[in-house]
Each structure stands twice: as structure tokens, then as C-alpha cells.
Amino acid sequence: MIFILLPALLGWLFLTSSSAPTESLKSHPHLDVIVLDAGHGGKDAGAIGTNGYMEKQGALGIILKLGKLIEKEMPGVKVVYTRKDDRFIELYRRGEIANEHHGKLFICVHCNSTPQKPSKATGLTTYILRPGKTDAAIRVAARENAVIQYEKNKSRYNNLSDEDFILTSMSRSQDVKFSEKCAAFVQNSVCSKVKIKSNGVSQAGFFVLVGAAMPSVYVETAFISNPKEEALLKSEAGQNNYARGILEGIKKYKAIYERS
């Protein structure tokens, strides 16, 4: 199986990371470019809450606030957005944007959801790229990866499977190490700032993370299918707290990253 998938994976990696060598950590020890990725957008609303609030709106609101905070409080760090408004960006293109700008950290922001609404599911989970270990993680990745239904050339993702996520992790072991550290800082600081239940750091096979050749984390902020958390995601105060929490996590991560 691996022998069949490996050429496809290598092709994918070559295409998506040609402008950003994975060895960049060694030659560029400064966290000088952070790429912010607001999930979904345009024709892809993402998950929709019981009261109609859309994941694409909450993700963008948090990302824009986070970008402003980084620019204000982290001088010398350049912020790159995969989208700054309500537009559709294909998953593979998001990683490409990150690579083209020589990002040192890729932060994806999304909202979790359940098939049945309203639901009492609650809490924050931060993910890194690896095969999903739990049913919940596998379900989240499947739901998020399903957005490729809106893309013209879905076949580019055809061969991505657990074997590919393992191979990608192995080929980027340094990035995975830093992703784990960043995810832990972000998870802790957002939970304390937002006062939301922690579902911990987890791992799953998110297609969007495969293309970004740098440490990356995927934040499932809260359950939009839970009316209380939908209201939290929609509120300015809630979005500000998420942005502040992620910022504090990034600041802690930057300190250890630059000492490495």
C-alpha cells in the first residue's frame, strides 16, 4: 500500500513545499512569519449553528483579531493571511500560500460541530497532523476534509490516507516536535482566557496541514452546534478572548522556538 502511495505523497510534497525547504528551521531560527488561516469562506460556510451563525464567520473574526494583536504586540513578526474576507480558498492553496511566504508557523482556526443540533458537546481541542487515534478526531478530520466537495480538482487529495500522514510526520519530525509544543501552549492559554472546557491536544489527518511545510496547529475553538458556544463564537468579546488566548500561546512558543 505504502509503495503505491509514496510517489503520490512525494509529488504532493514537492508541489506544495518547493518554495519552503523543510530545513528552514535550521537556517532561520526566528519566528518572523506567521500564517493565519481562517477556515472555510465564500460558498463554503463550514458548520452552521442552531441560530444560523456560520463557522466561516467565527473563524475569520478570530483570525483578524489575532492578526491585529500579533502586529501590535510582536514587533518584527510578519502576518500573512490565507483569507481576510469572505472568500473560498481551496485547501491545497492555503498551504501553498504559507510556503510561498516562508511561514514559520501555520495557525488554522475552525469551529467544531456535531451532526445533531442543538447539542451539548462542548470544549476546545487543538490538533496537530498525524493519523487520528480516536473516533472523535477521525470524525472531525472527515468533516473538515469534506470541504473539498467545493473544489474543482478533488483528485489531488485522492491518495491522502493514514500512511501519508505518518510519512509526512516522519519526513518532518522537527516540525511535528514544534507543532506539539505550540499546540500545548495554545490549548492552555485559550482555555484559561476563554474559560472553556479543555478537550486536550489531539491529532488527526487534516488535509490542509499536509501542504504547509512548517510547524502547524489546527484549533477547533468550540462547538457551534451548542447554542451557548455558538453565542460565544459570535460575540466580539468571545472572539477577542480567543485571539488573546492564541496570541499568548504563540508568545510562549516563540520563546522556546527561538532558543532551539
Site residues for Zn ion per CB under 5 A: 39, 46, 110, 144
Task: Please identify, using beta-carbon distances, which residue of 39 and 61 lies nearer to Zn ion.
Answer: 39
Nearest approach, Cβ of residue 47 and Zn ion (Å): 6
Q: How far apart are CA 36 and CA 233, in angstroms?
A: 18
Closest approach, Cβ 140 to Zn ion, in A, equals: 9
Q: In terms of CB distance, is 46 or 238 closer to Zn ion?
A: 46
Phi-psi region of 230 (alpha: psi -120 to 50; beta: other; left: phi over 0): alpha
| Residue number with CB closer to Zn ion (9 or 95) | 95
Measured from the CB atom, the residue of 145 and 174 that comes closer to Zn ion is 145
Distance of alpha carbon 173 from alpha carbon 213, whole angstroms: 11
Please identify the residue of the shown chain whose CB is closest to the bound Zn ion. Answer: 110
Nearest-approach distance from CB 147 to Zn ion, in angstroms: 7
* Least separation in angstroms between CB 252 and Zn ion: 25
With respect to Zn ion, which residue has the nearer C-beta, 218 or 257?
Answer: 218
DSSP per-residue letters across the chain: -HHHHHHHHHHHHHHHHTTS-TTHHHH--S--EEEEEE--BTTB--SB-TTS-BHHHHHHHHHHHHHHHHHHHSTT-EEEES-SSS----HHHHHHHHHHTT-SEEEEEEEE--SSSS-----EEEEEES---SHHHHHHHHHHHGGGGG-S-GGGGTT-SHHHHHHHHHHTHHHHHHHHHHHHHHHHHHHHHHT--EEEEEEE--HHHHT--S-EEEEEEEETTSHHHHHHHHSHHHHHHHHHHHHHHHHHHHHHHHH-
Cβ at position 232, least distance to Zn ion in Å? 16
Nearer to Zn ion, 5 or 238 (CB): 238
- Closer by beta carbon to Zn ion, 59 or else 243: 59
Whether the upstream peptide bond of residue 118 has omega within 30° of 0, thus cis, is yes
CB of 218 to Zn ion, least distance (A): 9
* Minimum CB distance to Zn ion, residue 152 (Å): 20
Angle between helices 162-171 and 173-194 (to 10 degrees): 100
